Structure 1
Amino acid sequence: MWSLDPCRKEVLKFAFSCRVLTLVLQVLTRFLGSSTPIIYWFPAHLLQAQEPLLRSLETVGQKPLSGDSPPGQKGPRNPIMELLYNWKTCSPVTRNILGYFLTYWLLGLLLHCNFLPWT
């Protein structure tokens, strides 16, 4: 039977504890993100309260499709896509919220595809 020297044992303990910590953090954030809607309600409330473009879409209601709508689209555009198309006219609160969620999505996409810990 082979044995490890004390230095290698410490390195393995450290690596194992780091991996366990990473897994626990990923699982906790996934549980919180999927079971706690207030995380998404608060930014939605801020967007509804601070963004004039969303308030104008509410008052107008369902707009007819414009000529530049994607082919095969039968309903009105997504309000979030409208905000992204009109990025320069959005309020700073809207830019920060959209920037946070887009950055989180992009980092998650890049890191998860490369087998790096990301939730």
Structure 2
Amino acid sequence: MWPSNPSQKEVLRFAVSCRVLTLMLQVLTRFLCSSTPVVYWFSAHLLQNQEPLLRSVDAAPEKLLEKNSPPGHEASRNCVMKLLYNWKACSPVTRCILGYFLTYWLLGLLLHCNFLPWT
């Protein structure tokens, strides 16, 4: 079971330590991002304070829904979709937050489907 060649022992030790490190990173990111919603609270706080489009949706939702929905689509009541449809009108803070979550989602989708470590 155990290799007798010293170089093979080094490779086995390296493979086992890489696997343990990968598992620890996956578990840590799951615990930090799933069980502690501080990241999501902070980003929601920044969006509510810094994004004028969200304040205008609260003031007159019907007018903004009809005016800003793309052609051929129904007016969405989802605030994230409204921000994505109006990407150029968003503040830089909103673009950074949306870009982070979209990149995280896309990387997770691609890496998980290819059996790579991602949470």
Q: How do 1:100-119 and structure 2 match up within 5 A?
A: 100-119=100-119
Q: Per-residue CA shift, 1:52-107, capped at 9, x if unaligned?
A: 0001112225x37648544xx8xx52000000000010000000000010001001
Tell me, in whole angstroms, the C-alpha distance in 2 between the residues paired with 1:108 and 1:5: 38
Match in the other structure for 1:19: 19
Structure 1 distance, partners of 2:116, 2:72, is 39
Cα separation, 2, equivalents of 1:109 and 1:14:
28
Code of the residue aligned with 1:29 in structure 2: it is T
Shift of residue 4 of structure 1? 2.4
Aligned residues: 114
1:2/1:32 CA distance change after superposition, 3 Å: closer
Q: Distance in 2 between matches of 1:43 and 1:3?
A: 51
**Higher percent of residues as helix:** 2
CA distance in 2, matches of 1:42, 1:4: 54
1:45 corresponds in structure 2 to: 45
Q: Which residue of 2 aligns with 1:34?
A: 34
Question: Is it true that 1:54 corresponds to 2:23 in the alignment?
Answer: no
- Is 1:94 the equivalent of 2:94? yes
Change (3 A) 1:2 1:47: closer
Distance 1:2 1:44, change over 3 A: closer
CA deviations over 1:17-48 (Å, ceiling 9, x no partner): 00110011101110111111111000110000
Instruction: State the Cα deviation string for residues 1-30 of structure 1 (Å, max 9, x = none).
Output: 874211101110111100110011101110
- Which residue identity lines up with residue 115 of structure 1 in the other structure? F
Identity among equivalent pairs (%)? 72
Superposed structure 1 runs of 4+ greater than 6 Å apart: none
Unaligned runs of 5+ in 2: none
- Mapped to 2, the partners of 1:3 and 1:44 lie a distance apart of 53
Shift of the 2–105 alpha-carbon distance from structure 1 to 2, 3 Å rule, reads closer
* Runs of at least 5 residues in structure 1 that lack an aligned partner in the other structure: none
